[in-house]
Structure 1
Amino acid sequence: MRVLLLGGTSEARALAARLHPDVEVISSLAGRVPDPALPVGPVRIGGFGGATGLADWLRDNAVDAVVDATHPYAATITANAATACRQRGLPHVVLARPGWDPGDAVLVESDTAAADEVARRGWSRVFLTTGRSGTAAFVGSDAWFLIRAVTPPDPDTLPENRELVLSRGPYHYEGECALLRDHAIDVLVTKNSGGSMTRPKLDAARDLGVPVLMIDRPRLPAGVDSVSDVDGAEAWVRQREGQFAG
């Protein structure tokens, strides 16, 4: 059985390790992060050319099933995978880690809506943790930004008043508290990524009384099966492996 594992997340790496070597897993990474953490087994890096390109790739590489374990906000590849698998008649599942309970956070639907809310409420010192692709909406803002990302955003997508911190989680509560205090942050802007690696910023903001502005998740494509963790994804693959062997 040959499985295409759309990855780049810690869950994808864990799933590849569990399935190796008795299931042939080809892990696919988008290629946006230099020197990424690599899973065990074969890895391809780069895009497919949309849903049609992915459908052709699945056919040409005799893939039997697809597991989408990409980031919860990787909406384009998730939609393309759903379309390609439907076209090819392949079993397909999304490993969608549970989101965080937003609690008292202000929920918005997009980066642009978040920028509008920052301006409307007059927040002036922003901890922006929406990733390298989430800074462009804040260009032209009068606020000051502490921007944390794994890789540098394009310079023309950065607000003028900012400090850029390049780092990769996991992060820890004490360090997040110090970051918020030392930079006099008055709002945390984040995506609802879920998981434990970046959760401490929310706990630190709550305990320090810093408001949270949270960009809600994109919805999964209609009709797509999903599981919430690596255990569920492994069980899904094992079930199809048994059907394939039979």
Structure 2
Amino acid sequence: MHVLILGGTTEARRLAEILAAEPRPGLSVMNSLAGRVAAPRLPPGEVRVGGFGGAEGLARWLCEHEVGALIDATHPFAGTISFNAARAAATAHVPLLALRRPGWVPVEGDVWHEAGSLEEAAGLLPSLGRRIFLTTGRMGLAAFAAPSDLWFLVRSVDAPEAPAPARMEVLLDRGPFTLHGERELLRRHRIDVVVTKDSGGAATAPKLAAAREAGLPVVVVRRPPAPTGVPVVGEPEAAADWIGERLHLGTFPDAG
């Protein structure tokens, strides 16, 4: 009864906490992190860091470790690993569940401009403003590196690497963020456009509320396609129920 959680997200840590709250005889849980963050918040239980070597490597790992359930709880924009997980699970005949937080939905007062990629988002900016709050993480800054008169406040967990915007200030920080803090950040840096990926979840959502209050446009990068045919749940508790049913373990209490 081995469970592999492809994680690195708040939902993955929450699921690991639920499974660890009431250990079951014979059940082992391995949390896999991609290793893109220098000092990740580690979940309870065993942790491995690094890739598997594509779909074939993951399939071998699943077989060698006799995994009975695979949970894809990766970031909504980590598209490659999700497709690798689907192919590996099919090859190894391992049940797969996607734990994927719901995307954000605009509400009254939002001024959203959707983009299909970071490059498309960058192309929208000159017509929207000059001082940009860029919250898409440290990966992909090359899309915004073309010479321009735009100024960027880049927030990320780890320091970004080149290529990056020439006119840029870096803010190293990690959510969850507060509405008060986001209001002050927009005011202090005189932000007139916010750029974000549709990551979903509550940890970074206050920036959307702060932009709405200030009447600022928000460029929202749509999520990449996800594998079809994979069952999806939006809450860690539902994923724990699925594991309990799939491995005949009964229900798990919610961790406090």
Matched with 1:227 is 233
- Partner residue in 2 for 1:183: 189
Letter in 2 for 1:64: G
Matched, 1:160 2:163: no
**Secondary structure of the equivalent of 1:145?**
strand
**Comparing 61-70 and 101-110, the one that deviates more:** 101-110
Moved more, 14-23 or 186-195: 14-23
Partner residue in 2 for 1:199:
205
8 Å CA contact 2:155, 2:170 repeated in 1: yes
Matched, 1:241 2:227: no
Structure-2 residue corresponding to 1:27? 31
2:97 to 93, 99, 105: 93
Q: Verify: 1:116 aligned to 2:150, yes or no.
A: no
CA deviation profile, 1:67-96 (whole Å, cap 9, x unmatched): 011111111111110110011111001001
TM-score, L = length of structure 1: 0.95
Structure 1 residue 10, shift from structure 2 partner: 1.3
Instruction: Please tell me whether the aligned partners of residues 26 and 44 of structure 1 are also in contact (alpha carbons under 8 angstroms).
Output: yes
**TM-score, with structure 2 as normaliser:** 0.91
Where does residue 106 of structure 2 map in the other structure? 102
Q: Report the secondary structure of 2:67's partner residue.
A: coil
Cα distance change, pair 6–100 in 1 and its aligned pair in 2 (3 A): same
Aligned length: 242
* Runs of at least 5 residues in structure 1 that lack an aligned partner in the other structure: none
After superposition, give the CA deviation of every residue in 1:78-116 in whole Å (9 maximum; x if it has no partner). 111011001111100100111111344111111111011
Report how far residue 157 of structure 1 moved.
Answer: 2.2
User: Residue type of the partner of 1:149?
Assistant: S
C-alpha deviation, 1:122, in angstroms:
5.0
Q: Deviation at 1:243?
A: 8.0
Task: Map Cα deviations across residues 193-228 of structure 1 (whole Å, 9 max, x no partner).
Answer: 111111110000000111100001112211111101
- The answer (yes or no) to whether the contact 1:136–1:157 under 8 Å persists in 2 is yes
Larger fraction in helix: 1
Per the alignment, residue 39 of structure 1 pairs with: 43
Show the counterpart of 1:148: 155
Q: Answer yes or no: is the 8 Å Cα contact 2:82–2:226 preserved in 1.
A: yes
Q: Structure 1 pair 141/210, CA: closer, same or farther in 2 (3 Å)?
A: farther
State the Cα RMSD in Å: 1.4
Give SS of 1:159's match: coil
Amino acid at match of 1:176: E
Q: How far apart, CA to CA, are the structure 1 residues paired with 2:175 and 2:7?
A: 17
Question: Which stretch of structure 1 is more off in the superposition, 103-112 or 190-199?
Answer: 103-112
SS in 2 for 1:97: coil
% identity of equivalent residues = 49
Asked if 1:170 is matched to 2:176, the reply is yes
Instruction: Measure how far apart 1:48 and its partner are.
Output: 0.7
- 1:55 paired with 2:59, answer yes
Paired residue type of 1:151: D
CA distance in 2, matches of 1:193, 1:88: 30
Q: Which runs of 4+ in 1 moved over 2 A?
A: none
Counterpart for residue 75 of structure 1: 79
Structure 2: tracts of 5 or more residues without a match = 251-256
